[in-house]
């Protein structure tokens, strides 16, 4: 259930390039969460909100080249250090490729922020959705969803020194 806030300056990409970029980003985020991007249920809960600043400023001056910001939100347990690193690298490369050489290829113009939403604080469908609920929805199997969520949360919390009761 990744959610992406994508800041893409108005006119930075052609409509076709942007549509292709957003579709590829959806696939990538699902892949990095360990979900099959062809799963229609998973795709239906992978949302991207596009923000369009008319102008960007760098060091107090209007930027002559587009700057992009992508804020990736995922349920707790979905992003370890390798997945975060992979997301940052893949999003940056994919955005620069979408520009198709229209601007200098500078990865410093693409910022990617990743964060996990603590389990029990993600609200959807009018209720709190824990990782177990999300996994069950996608997998269609409550027992597999429970086991996957417990495993992911255990690994995540162990890495942060949090005991799981």
CATH for 66: 3.30.429.10
Number of domains in the chain: 1
Separation in Å, CA 97 to CA 47, 62, 74, 125, 135: 22, 23, 25, 36, 32
Is residue 50 one of the residues assigned to a domain? yes
Closest Cα partner for 136 from 49, 41, 51, 28?
A: 41
Residue 100 inside a domain? The answer is yes
Residue 23 lies in a domain: yes
Torsion angle (degrees, nearest 10) of CA 87, 93, 94, 100 = 170
Q: Count of alpha carbons within 13 Å of 111, Cβ hemisphere only?
A: 7
> Is 137 part of any domain?
no
The range of the structural domain enclosing residue 18 comes to: 3-121
pLDDT reported for residue 2: 85
* Consecutive H or E run containing 107: none
Per-residue confidence band for 164, with pLDDT thresholds at 50, 70 and 90 = low
Task: Show Cβ contacts of residue 118 under 8 Å, excluding neighbours closer than 6 positions.
Answer: 76
Question: What's residue 162's pLDDT?
Answer: 62
Q: Evaluate whether residue 149 is within a structural domain.
A: no
Does this model's pTM top 0.85? yes
> Would you place residue 37 in the very low, low, confident or very high pLDDT band (cuts 50, 70, 90)?
very high
pLDDT given for residue 156 in this prediction:
85
- The average pLDDT across 127-151 equals 94
């Amino acid at each position: 259930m990744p959610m992406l806030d994508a800041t893409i300056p108005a006119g930075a990409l052609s409509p076709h390039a942007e549509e292709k970029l957003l579709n590829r980003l959806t696939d990538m985020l699902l892949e990095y969460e360990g979900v099959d991007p062809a799963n229609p249920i998973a795709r239906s809960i992978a949302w991207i909100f596009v923000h369009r600043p008319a102008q960007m400023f760098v060091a107090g001056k209007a930027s002559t080249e587009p700057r992009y910001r992508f804020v990736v939100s995922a349920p707790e347990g979905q992003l370890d250090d390798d997945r975060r690193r992979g997301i940052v690298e893949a999003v940056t490369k994919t955005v620069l490729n979408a520009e198709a050489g229209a601007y200098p290829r500078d990865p410093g113009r693409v910022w990617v922020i990743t964060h996990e939403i603590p389990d029990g604080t993600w609200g959807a469908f009018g209720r709190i959705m824990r990782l177990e609920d999300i996994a069950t929805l996608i997998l269609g199997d409550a027992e597999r969803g429970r086991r996957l969520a417990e495993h992911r949360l255990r690994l995540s919390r162990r890495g942060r020194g949090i005991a799981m009761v």
